[in-house]
Structure 1
Amino acid sequence: MNGTKEIKVSTTDPESGYMIRDGKPEGFFYLDHRTVDLKYNLITDVHVTPGNVHDSVPYLSRLDRQRERFGFKVEAVALDSGYLTTPICRGLQQRKIFAVIAHRRFHPKQGLFAKWKFTYDAESNTYICPEKHQLTYRTTDRKGYRQYASDPEHCKTCPMLAQCTHSQNHRKVLTRHVWEDSKDWVRNNRLSRDGKQLYRKRKETIERSFADAKELHGFRYCRLRGLSNVTEQALMTAAVQNMKKMAIHLDRLEKRG
């Protein structure tokens, strides 16, 4: 049947998922979605999924679980670019959590203007092109993306047409999600002084936590097959790492006293 998506299933571990990511090996894997606190670098949550589950899918539900179960008063989070989605940005803003998420680079077609060259005017709900012409609102699709289109009569005589669109009808179309304001809020956080300081700490916490798990605790490979077995390995690894962190912290407190 045309349009159906092929889902690869492992013959030896059907609960794993086939992962394809830039710069990563391709194959059947599991993913450990873990949360680490900023102050002591303790692992506060471990959640294992098949390798074909995107990082952003379980994020908000796992965040809420920690807040409800442990009473965490989460004030700020720092995430990599895989979490830069409109639902996550919207969810964090609604929860009043200061969010810093790495920028994801989108490359336009070679020779065409990047989207940031077009300025959004919230008051008129239009985009302004580099030549100061408006792209007016047309419709909103089922996924929540508003469409803005230029006037072909202006565009066909524009000196920048070749750098703007390859459309045969000389019409430039841009999209903007209905929650795009939340994404703009996250971008502004990332560029702020506090945001830059917070994101720098991310390399010292979550990245270090994963590196230690792989290099010191054999977490580069699954010891057993199946989601429950891999989850058990992930939880045991996190427990050992936390015990080491606690021991180090308590030793420092004793020496200070």
Structure 2
Amino acid sequence: MPYLSRLDRQQARFGFAVEAVALDSGYLTTPICRGLQSRKIFAVIAHRRFHPKQGLFPKWKFTFDPERNLYVCPASHELKYRTTDRKGYRQYASDPEHCKSCPLLDQCTQSRNHRKVVTRHVWEDSKDWVRNNRLSKSGKQLYRKRKETIERSFADAKELHGFRYCRLRGLRNVREQALMTAVVQNMKKMAIHLDRLEKQG
């Protein structure tokens, strides 16, 4: 939830000119994808798998046609736009008259009225943009960099500095523990860097 506001704060406070970010699958939400695209920040976010009910087609089996604003099912029937809900999801529904005699019905929906409904967020194009970034050559290189840097820092904090569990309760106390852990890690990095400079000199 607070990711974009924290990103903006870091850029404003420290003067960071952020060109690209690499995030894990927990950040793959339409607001974050939209926010990064509008900020012109190249985003690579890990893929998150959603498993449909056993035996049913996954969503990617339904092809979206942006020109006609509809989905096409695996049996080549059209799911036409119906409405948009308050959360920004467009609903595309099939024609029950086609579906009830379809040989793929059992793999498509379990609804009693034989109607298949597929939803698509109004900002889904931004999520598609992030997916394409992840599959690009530069995107793959960037995501590898994330595993080599950020994840190692988290692992170090958890394994060596007691960051696996919070020692005290309350936001203020947890923030203090997080900041002290970061201070210790930065001191270690500074000591290693100074040692290298001394050896070079």
Normalising by structure 2, we get a TM-score of 0.94
Q: CA deviation at 1:122?
A: 0.5
Which contiguous aligned blocks of 4+ residues in structure 1 show a shift greater than 6 angstroms?
A: none
User: 1:16: which partner in 2?
Assistant: none
Superposition deviation, residue 253 in structure 1? 4.6
Task: From the superposition, tell whether residues 244 and 111 of structure 1 become closer, same or farther in structure 2 (CA, over 3 Å).
Answer: same
Match of 1:128 among 52, 62, 72: 72
Q: Residue in 2 aligned with 1:208?
A: 152
What's the offset of the Cα at 1:250?
4.0
- Of 109-118 and 229-238, deviating more is 229-238
Match of 2:190 among 231, 234, 246: 246
Map 1:133-212 onto structure 2 (within 5 A).
Answer: 133-212=77-156
Which one is further off, 109-118 or 193-202? 193-202
Greater RCO, 1 or 2 (C-alpha within 8 Å, sep 6+): 1
Q: Distance in 1 between matches of 2:120 and 2:62?
A: 12
Q: Which amino acid aligns with 2:3?
A: Y
Helix, strand or coil at the partner of 1:205: helix
Give, as a single letter, the amino acid of the residue that structure 1 aligns with 2:188: K
Where do 1:1-257 residues align within 5 Å? Answer: 57-256=1-200
Structure 1 Cα separation of the partners of residues 13 and 43 of structure 2: 21
5+ residue gaps in structure 2? Answer: none
More helix by share: 2
Q: What letter matches 2:192 in structure 1?
A: I
- The residue identity in structure 2 corresponding to 1:245 is K
Offset of 1:106 from its aligned partner? Answer: 0.5
Aligned-pair CA distance for 1:246: 2.8
CA apart distance, 1:165: 0.9
The 3 A distance-change label for structure 1 pair 69 and 169 is same
Q: Which amino acid aligns with 2:120?
A: R
SS at match of 1:124: coil
| TM superposition shift of 1:153 | 1.6
Query: How far apart, CA to CA, are the structure 2 residues paired with 1:246 and 1:112?
Result: 54
- 1:162–1:221 CA distance, 2 compared to 1 (3 A): closer
| TM-score when normalising by structure 1 | 0.74
Name the aligned partner's letter for residue 165 of structure 1.
Answer: T
Q: What is the distance in 1 between the residues matched to 2:44 and 2:64? A: 22
CA distance in 2, matches of 1:89, 1:190: 12
Q: Percent identity over the alignment?
A: 87
Q: Give the whole-Å Cα distance in 2 for the aligned partners of 1:218 and 1:140.
A: 47
Alignment deviations for residues 167-209 of structure 1 (CA, whole Å, 9 cap, x no partner): 1211111000000000001111111111111112222222111
Helix, strand or coil: the match of 1:136? Answer: strand
> 88-97 vs 191-200, which deviates more?
191-200
Aligned-partner Cα distance in 1 for 2:58–2:17:
39
